[in-house]
Chains A and B, each alone.
Chain A
Amino acid sequence: EVQLVESGGGLVQPGGSLRLSCAASGFTFSSYWMHWVRQAPGQGLVWVSRIFNDESNTNYADSVKGRFTVSRDNAKKMMYLQMNSLRVEDTAVYYCVRVTFAGSGYDFWGPGTLVTVSS
């Protein structure tokens, strides 16, 4: 059974940092591209970042470019999102998401971890 479990969320002050982790199991993690998607309270889904299966390519939403860094450790079946210079508008539930093998949809989602940026 495919499982994705995020951790590392919490309350942080504006300008602070957090590192989110995503633990994957039940599939060949090293074969799949992975994404982060976030959802502010009461709002819609917003794509954050993508990483290729071999870390050869990463992409970021303009709103987080230069502040967030996605990485992965295929041996540990883990993906990470290092978030620096956090802003109030980064407050959201962050989902770890797997993309289908053809890259045509997000087929498995973790339960999400809440990041709250507030003073």
Chain B
Amino acid sequence: QSVLTQPPSVSAAPGQKVTISCSGSSSNIGNNDVSWYQQLPGTAPKLLIYEINKRPSGIPDRFSASKSGTSATLGITGLQTGDEADYYCGAWDNILSAGVFGGGTRLTVL
């Protein structure tokens, strides 16, 4: 059981937009930065978004994120078949004094 809650799967057609939610609590998302990761099959995760909505160099602006209260959302526009992957949200939890992740969301581009 993950501390952060994500939907197990989402799907959309190429060119469309999809959102992935991440729900937490005041001890994690509510008072700390949320980050998002993409994990392609057989590879290590890659940072997509940090400090709520900043993108590392090389990450296209098709990826964006937002936060409201104890929830966060990742948005991906202009979906491509190469976006098919597992997506994770992450944050620090002040009560647990530990990092926490969502259970991951598998994106299928139909």
Residues B44 and A112 in contact, CB atoms below 8 Å apart: yes
Residues A106 and B51 in contact, CB atoms below 8 Å apart: no
Report, nearest first, the 3 A-B pairs whose CB atoms are least far apart. Answer: A105-B50, A47-B99, A105-B35
A68 at the interface (CB under 8 A from B): no
Majority SS at the chain A contact face: strand
* Count of chain A to chain B residue pairs whose CB atoms are closer than 8 Å in the complex: 63
Residues A44 and B103 in contact, CB atoms below 8 Å apart: yes
Majority SS at the chain B contact face: strand
Question: For the complex, what is the distance from the CA of A47 to the CA of B102, rounded to whole Å?
Answer: 11
Chain B, interface size: which category? 20 to 34
Closest CB in chain A relative to B19 CB, distance in Å: 19
A88 at the interface (CB under 8 A from B): no
Residues A107 and B50 in contact, CB atoms below 8 Å apart: yes
Residues B44 and A50 in contact, CB atoms below 8 Å apart: no
Residues A100 and B102 in contact, CB atoms below 8 Å apart: no
